Structure 1
Amino acid sequence: MGILDVLIADIGVTIVIVDAVLIIMMMFWERSDPRSVLVWAVVMLFLPLVGFVAYLVVGQTFYTKWSFKSKRVSDAHAVRALSRQLEAVRREMDADPRFCERLRFAGTLTGSGAGAYSNRNRVTLFTDGREKFDSLFEDLRNAKEHINFEYYIIRNDELADELMDILSERAAAGVEVRLMVDAIGSNSPKNRIREFKEAGGKYTLFHSTLTVLLSPRKNNRNHRKVAVIDGKVAYIGGFNVGTEYLGLGPLGYWRDSAVRIEGDCILHIQSKFLSDWRYATREDIVTEERFYRNIGPAPGGDDGVQMVSGGPDCADLNPIHIQYLNMITKAESTLYIHTPYLSLDPSLIDALRISAMSGTDVRIMIPDKPDHPFVFWNNRYNADLLMRCGVRVFQYRKGFVHSKTVVADGRYCSVGSANFDIRSMKLNFETNAMIYSERVGSMMKEAFETDLEDCVEYTREDYAGRTTVERFRTGVSRMFSGQV
């Protein structure tokens, strides 16, 4: 055996040893999901070099936790600095027994890191893309002071052109306009971004191109869809910007949800955007008074709202995970869930099962067509786990359901960007609006029941009747459930 052969053999042994160390780290240091451990163990053992590189790029989480530590700490400092503005509201609520139940629920979420509860808001619900964008664009056109716009995807199409026309015009008119998109999710039109910046707008990627190429943080995507106009109006939901979200894409009619909010809770929406902007640009304007001076109670508004944001900076105790668990366990009569992706950790599976077995009418609506093959079959696997205990699952057939909503007992409501999947609980930055309102709950419950007319119930017999190929696809999708 030559020297070269010995060297190659030594390198191979070293790679195998390093792989083994990484597998042990996953099990004992990172406390990884056993399914992820299995996937990476197989990849590393059969493709040592490829597995080693792939794990460093997208698999490990210890670097992610360290790299986002400063963001988590600075965000907490910003919230504490702004909290004094809500003290009067809290005192008012404490004196009114009507709010006791809401405050107990909200207190659980606040303890996990969610924003403060406020009760002087007005919420408008949108379930159709055209209606949502007509309203959003009208508010943008009327902006006088500032626009803060943070979206996961802005397509290069006619709807994006309309948005960029408005943002550029407002920036040229002297409005302070900030636009932030995700580096992986968005393919924003470069020429329109250039025009926007030339008009005086400020633009950034949440993660720079260099970060995406060279850092494990490429797997941590900013999935939020948030807009704040003059501190008076905010939008949150599941719609991205593109004509497909108007129902003009290959998946047909697009069923999604968003809310327009006026009121006190905009304080925390604003501070979250500015904290994300500081992380992406190092421009620290989080506590500057001009962004908060217009925030106040909505005239005649009495919807309770609490902002719930999560991400890899709080992966060990994600407020959105706590929010969903709390809503499931609090539901007594009905629990209706829209989600395009159903990939659950054991705690959510158990909570949904227990709720159904306790007599709650638990219904989950998922798509009947795939926008991602792995996710589609994983949806059905998780559906079967839940159906065993009485959860009812419905497949939406009118088009594609992308809505991320929960309504419990017609009064506890969630609308936002977070799916019922592991990615939203562990990897992505997400924001939901937690709404305490029988008025909004009634609208959401009615919208869900209307959607049922365009659904077919998925059953355990349907799952058991899968073909051999479909069973293979299900098995493969399960292996990658924590990454897709």
Structure 2
Amino acid sequence: MLEFIQNHVFFSLLILNYVIAIGTAFFIILNNRNPITTVSYILSLIVLPFVGLLIYFFFGQEYRKDKMFKRRKVFNDKRVKRWEKKLLLGEQKLEKYEDSFLNSHVNIVKLLQNNQKKPLTFGNDVKILLNGEKKFESLFNDLKQAKDHIHLEYYIFNSDSIGLQLIKILCKKAQEGIRVRVIYDYVGSILNGKQVKRMQSAGIEIFPFMPVWFPNLTRKLNYRDHRKIAIIDGTLGYVGGVNISDDYVNPCKKGYWRDTHLRIEGNAIKSLQSHFLLNWNFVSNQEIKIIDRFFPKMENSGEVAVQIAASGPDSNWPHIMEAIFTAINSANKSIHITTPYFIPNDQILTALKTASRRGVEVKLLIPKKGDSWAAKYATNSYILDILESDIKVYHYCKGMIHAKSMVVDGEFTTVGTSNMDYRSFEINFEVNALIYNAEISQKMISIYEKDIEECESVDMDTWKERGIRMRLKESFCRLWAPLL
């Protein structure tokens, strides 16, 4: 037997691979996960010897209910509960607002209040910032004015020109006595040790999100902190698609980069703050003391109603996906979607197609080239299906469109970090701002129409004529959609 193994090493390893793969497949089936995800992983185990096992052990293990994500102490803090209870709206007030400005979107408010205890906040001022250059100009100015604390949480924090400018500002503020806390994703960021030490020496508290060290690699690589938020003094903050990198400032080495970020000042920042503190406790392995300065009283900054939705494997439900699903089903006139990656689950896909077929004008704006060939082909595999439901599809040709937004009926808008794909809905830590305001929504539609000027409209007859080679690529990538 030993001699046979020695003479047939590859064949023996192949047999061992499939023995382990069969056991793993049974384990996946017994977990009763999403059937599409289950089939994708089992298929990878069958058709990709050795590689399939690596894919599953690196990316496929489910930890939504694992102890590593059971970290709710921030939400149970008496100060957090006090401001949430004060801001949460009862049925009578919701009925009143439903008749005024919420209209059919009141169900989104109810959903998040019931699921996450995240209130609809008033007295907010919201500014739309197009592209990295506008975002960084505004953010850097606000950071320089910070008087108490600065909290940053970013998927990509690079040690390039923009990153170094930010680090310089943060170090200066920390040396002035301002408390600066930074979370950066270990996988997404390229932040060298020298700059981390520089920040720490200046008094900045900085921690990576789930650093990948073997043998913990298999349980940590899959779940990433995809958020891009900044909170200043607990009164104003930023959320959207723009990371800390030169790639987001035009002109950049990748070509033109189109993105959308929000500057919010007002009570909505309290919700953003609580989610940051929750992650801070996790990455720092500390129980940060919740102080009143994190949730200061403030005068009305504006007239915009905002609700914050956050999701990740630490939550019981995919809150952002459910909010988007509810918004689509509440639409009566129009839906304008911009996303860099359109790899929807069955719920979102069905909601969009049925909305279009019941008379709602649905428009989808996606990049023509994109920054990921696999995601591009997977996205393309859905185009014919939605074109057949009379959904209008636009390919952005000027460069990469990375904005993540949706406008419904010219009344409701969501902008945030979540793509319209399985990874954002189920795996990554994401956060979106939900805005119930016609003026902001109309501004977003105007921006959308300008973006369409840089697009090609996808014609169904022309799309059907694409070659078999292209269709095979699309179908192959769609099989791995839950893994992308």
Instruction: State the TM-score, normalized to the length of structure 1.
Output: 0.92
Aligned to 1:240, the other structure's residue is in SS state coil
Q: Does 1:319 align with 2:322?
A: no
The answer to which of 80-89 and 342-351 deviates more is 80-89
Q: Does 1:74 align with 2:73?
A: yes
1:163-312 equivalences under 5 Å are 163-210=166-213, 214-285=217-288, 287-292=290-295, 294-299=296-301, 301-312=302-313
Count, aligned residues: 477
Q: CA-to-partner distance for each residue in 1:280-326, whole Å, 9 max, x for gaps?
A: 0112126222312x243433x12111110001223x62100111101
Inter-CA distance 472–91: structure 2 relative to 1 (3 Å threshold): closer
1:10 Cα deviation after fit: 8.6
Q: Distance in 1 between matches of 2:462 and 2:300?
A: 48
1:370 Cα deviation after fit: 2.4
Aligned to 2:471, the other structure's residue is in SS state helix
1:266 Cα deviation after fit: 1.1
Cα contact 1:211–1:218 (8 A) shared by 2: no
1:29 Cα deviation after fit: 1.7
Q: Distance in 2 between matches of 1:19 and 1:298?
A: 59
Q: Distance in 2 between matches of 1:40 and 1:383?
A: 24
Q: Give the structure 2 partner of residue 386 of structure 1.
A: 386
1:13 Cα deviation after fit: 5.6
Aligned to 2:453, the other structure's residue is in SS state helix
Q: Distance in 1 between matches of 2:97 and 2:435?
A: 13
Q: CA-to-partner distance for each residue in 1:17-41, whole Å, 9 max, x for gaps?
A: 432232123234232333x333332
1:163 Cα deviation after fit: 0.6
Aligned to 1:445, the other structure's residue is in SS state helix
Q: Give the structure 1 partner of residue 452 of structure 2.
A: 452
Please tell me the residue identity of whatever aligns with 1:403.
Answer: A
In structure 1, list runs of 5 or more residues that go unmatched.
Answer: none
Q: Does 1:115 align with 2:114?
A: no
Q: Distance in 2 between matches of 1:178 and 1:235?
A: 15
Q: CA-to-partner distance for each residue in 1:389-412, whole Å, 9 max, x for gaps?
A: 111110111221100001101111
The answer to which of 239-248 and 12-21 deviates more is 12-21
1:367 Cα deviation after fit: 0.3
Q: Does 1:27 align with 2:35?
A: no
Cα contact 1:271–1:286 (8 A) shared by 2: no
Cα contact 1:121–1:297 (8 A) shared by 2: no
Q: Does 1:144 align with 2:142?
A: no
Please tell me the residue identity of whatever aligns with 2:333.
Answer: S
Q: Give the structure 2 partner of residue 401 of structure 1.
A: 401
Cα contact 2:234–2:269 (8 A) shared by 1: yes
Aligned to 2:32, the other structure's residue is in SS state coil
Q: Give the structure 1 partner of residue 356 of structure 2.
A: 356
Inter-CA distance 12–27: structure 2 relative to 1 (3 Å threshold): same
Cα contact 1:68–1:312 (8 A) shared by 2: no
Please tell me the residue identity of whatever aligns with 2:76.
Answer: H
Inter-CA distance 21–91: structure 2 relative to 1 (3 Å threshold): closer
Please tell me the residue identity of whatever aligns with 1:31.
Answer: R
Q: Distance in 2 between matches of 1:198 and 1:247?
A: 32
Please tell me the residue identity of whatever aligns with 1:413.
Answer: T
Cα contact 1:380–1:463 (8 A) shared by 2: no
Q: Distance in 2 between matches of 1:190 and 1:400?
A: 30
Q: CA-to-partner distance for each residue in 1:416-436, whole Å, 9 max, x for gaps?
A: 000000110111000000111
Q: Give the structure 1 partner of residue 440 of structure 2.
A: 440
Cα contact 2:75–2:274 (8 A) shared by 1: no
Q: Distance in 2 between matches of 1:435 and 1:214?
A: 38
Instruction: State the TM-score, normalized to the length of structure 2.
Output: 0.92
Q: Distance in 1 between matches of 2:91 and 2:343?
A: 37
Cα contact 2:131–2:242 (8 A) shared by 1: no
Cα contact 2:108–2:323 (8 A) shared by 1: no
Q: Give the structure 1 partner of residue 81 of structure 2.
A: 83
Q: Distance in 2 between matches of 1:370 and 1:86?
A: 40
Q: CA-to-partner distance for each residue in 1:111-151, whole Å, 9 max, x for gaps?
A: 23262111221111112321111111000011111000001
The answer to which of 142-151 and 211-220 deviates more is 211-220
Inter-CA distance 212–166: structure 2 relative to 1 (3 Å threshold): farther
Please tell me the residue identity of whatever aligns with 1:440.
Answer: I
Q: Distance in 2 between matches of 1:94 and 1:137?
A: 42
Cα contact 1:211–1:217 (8 A) shared by 2: no
In structure 2, list runs of 5 or more residues that go unmatched.
Answer: none
Cα contact 1:307–1:432 (8 A) shared by 2: yes
Q: Distance in 2 between matches of 1:362 and 1:200?
A: 50
1:249 Cα deviation after fit: 2.6
Q: Distance in 2 between matches of 1:122 and 1:22?
A: 51
Cα contact 1:394–1:455 (8 A) shared by 2: yes
Cα contact 2:230–2:238 (8 A) shared by 1: yes
